[in-house]
């Protein structure tokens, strides 16, 4: 039994607590409140962190940790060029991944797990494309979900992958990590395969995550089957015979006609959705993960946040991967969103999106995402500038906070400067 005290406790699910504390027993939070109250209720040693704020561990709702070494792979494999469009970038990713050995992916994933934890991420929604990497998660201390990626149009290959996914789900056991499915995008998964994946997810009560309306190339393709997706991507992966006739639709409307969208669906990016698309997402109960730095890096645009917020669509934050971002830090993500898109978010909204919002979206909010009794003791010690007023606390943490310590289930994890 231990008590951790700081100048403020920021539960996220309730207002900040000045001179607050949390009591931890066997890796769980058993009390949260003012230090005097917690101390009077529990006879335990107090670890005091004056000048610091105790926050929940962060939840990265969308990432691809196996791509952490992508920047170095580009150089070593002679493909270090700056893509001109989104499809050019996708083609670069495909070419690089084709030449990777298993040990390269293993090292990359291990590094992604390590630097995420050091940045204060104690839960994540990770998209895994190579199931040979699954054993690396068996001893993982973080919680969250692994979403098994599915891509394909060729019928036999799709049936084979579907059977493999079903077998993997039957034997899945990765500690605190839960499973999910990740049909990649409307243009990279056949309609029949999409529907089969939806049935598999429903049979196992699993969520699905899908990249949705990420680029103007996707918009053009879904409307009339033209553009760089048809001209470059499909030939690159030998899908020419599966090029659809012009559909005259949008990605969201298309998936809705297939019966894919419901409250267990997580849509990532949603940059080029229309008001009608947003209404579909709202009606079906779809949640959305925003990845603002990745979108900026790929120059694909910005999600219509005002529209999503107006409709009350649940939002969370993700970093995406180091193939399209500069770091796996949600602090960097929040800082960018606050400064590069002024007025779109309040600091309070961003901190919630990066913690409890992500946990709710991933279906792990009973375990983590906020500082509440019964939850796992995943928390951070963050030091804002001196003399920060309570009303400026959230902004100060995002803009100038220094992460000093990370705790997972009450156990401190070393953070390197």
Per-residue pLDDT reduced to its tens digit, 69-102: 999 999 998 998 989 999 999 999 999 999 899 9
Q: Which fold has domain 58-362?
A: TIM Barrel (3.20.20)
Average pLDDT, the chain: 95
Question: In whole angstroms, what is the distance from residue 316 CA to residue 325 CA?
Answer: 17
Count of other CB atoms within 10 angstroms of residue 225: 17
- Mean pLDDT calculated for residue range 30-48: 96
At residue 297, the pLDDT reads 96
Which CA distances in Å does 188 have to 56, 183, 227, 369?
36, 8, 15, 32
pLDDT class of 417 with cuts at 50, 70, 90: very low
CA nearest to 123, candidates 62, 49, 78: 62
Q: In which region does residue 162 sit, left (phi positive, over 0), alpha (psi from -120 to 50) or beta (all else)?
A: alpha
Per-residue pLDDT reduced to its tens digit, 217-272: 999 999 999 999 999 999 999 999 999 999 999 999 999 999 999 999 999 999 99
Q: Which fold has domain 2-56+370-413?
A: Urease, subunit C; domain 1 (2.30.40)
At residue 416, the pLDDT reads 58
* 325, pLDDT greater than 50: yes
At residue 415, the pLDDT reads 63
Domain ranges, ordered by start, for the chain: 2-56+370-413, 58-362
- Structural element, H or E, at residue 86: helix 86-98
Q: Token pair of 255, please?
A: 């998936």
pLDDT class of 386 with cuts at 50, 70, 90: confident
Per-residue pLDDT reduced to its tens digit, 159-214: 999 999 999 999 998 888 999 999 999 999 999 999 999 999 999 999 999 999 99
CA-angle at 304, arms to 298 and 309, nearest 5°: 135
Q: Looking at the chain, how many residues does it have?
A: 417
């Amino acid at each position: 039994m231990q008590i951790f005290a700081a100048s403020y406790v920021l539960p996220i699910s309730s207002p900040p607590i000045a001179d607050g504390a949390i009591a931890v027993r066997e890796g769980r939070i058993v009390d949260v409140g003012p230090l005097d109250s917690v101390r009077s209720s529990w006879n335990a040693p107090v670890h005091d962190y004056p000048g610091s704020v105790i926050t929940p561990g962060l939840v990265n709702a969308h990432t691809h940790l196996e791509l952490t070494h992508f920047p170095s792979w580009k150089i070593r494999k002679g493909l270090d060029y700056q893509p001109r469009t989104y499809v050019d970038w996708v083609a670069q990713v495909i070419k690089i991944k084709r030449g990777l050995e298993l040990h390269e992916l293993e090292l990359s994933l291990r590094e992604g797990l390590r630097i995420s934890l050091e940045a204060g991420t104690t839960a994540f929604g990770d998209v895994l494309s190579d199931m040979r990497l699954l054993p690396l998660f068996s001893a993982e201390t973080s919680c969250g979900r692994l979403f098994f990626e599915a891509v394909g149009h060729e019928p036999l290959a799709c049936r084979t992958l579907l059977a493999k996914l079903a077998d993997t789900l039957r034997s899945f056991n990765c500690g605190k990590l839960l499973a999910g499915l990740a049909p990649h995008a409307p243009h990279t998964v056949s309609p029949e395969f999409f529907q089969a994946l939806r049935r598999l997810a429903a049979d196992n009560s699993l969520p699905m995550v899908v990249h949705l309306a990420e680029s103007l190339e996707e918009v053009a393709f879904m409307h009339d089957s033209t553009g760089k997706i048809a001209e470059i991507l499909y030939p690159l992966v030998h899908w020419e015979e599966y090029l659809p006739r012009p559909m005259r639709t949008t990605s969201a409307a298309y998936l809705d006609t297939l019966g894919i969208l419901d409250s267990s669906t997580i849509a990532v990016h949603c940059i080029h959705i229309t008001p009608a698309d947003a209404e579909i997402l709202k009606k079906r109960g779809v949640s959305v993960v925003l990845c603002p730095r990745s979108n900026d890096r790929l120059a694909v645009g910005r999600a219509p946040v005002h529209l999503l917020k107006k409709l009350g669509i649940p939002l969370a934050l993700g970093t995406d991967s180091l193939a399209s971002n500069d770091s796996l830090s949600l602090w960097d993500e929040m800082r960018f969103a606050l400064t590069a898109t002024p007025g779109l978010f309040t600091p309070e909204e961003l901190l919630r999106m990066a913690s409890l919002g992500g946990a709710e979206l991933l279906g792990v909010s009973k375990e983590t995402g906020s500082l509440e009794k019964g939850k796992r003791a995943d928390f951070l010690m963050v030091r804002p500038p001196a003399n920060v007023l309570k009303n400026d606390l959230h902004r100060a943490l995002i803009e100038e906070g220094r992460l000093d310590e990370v705790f997972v289930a009450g156990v401190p994890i070393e953070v390197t400067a």
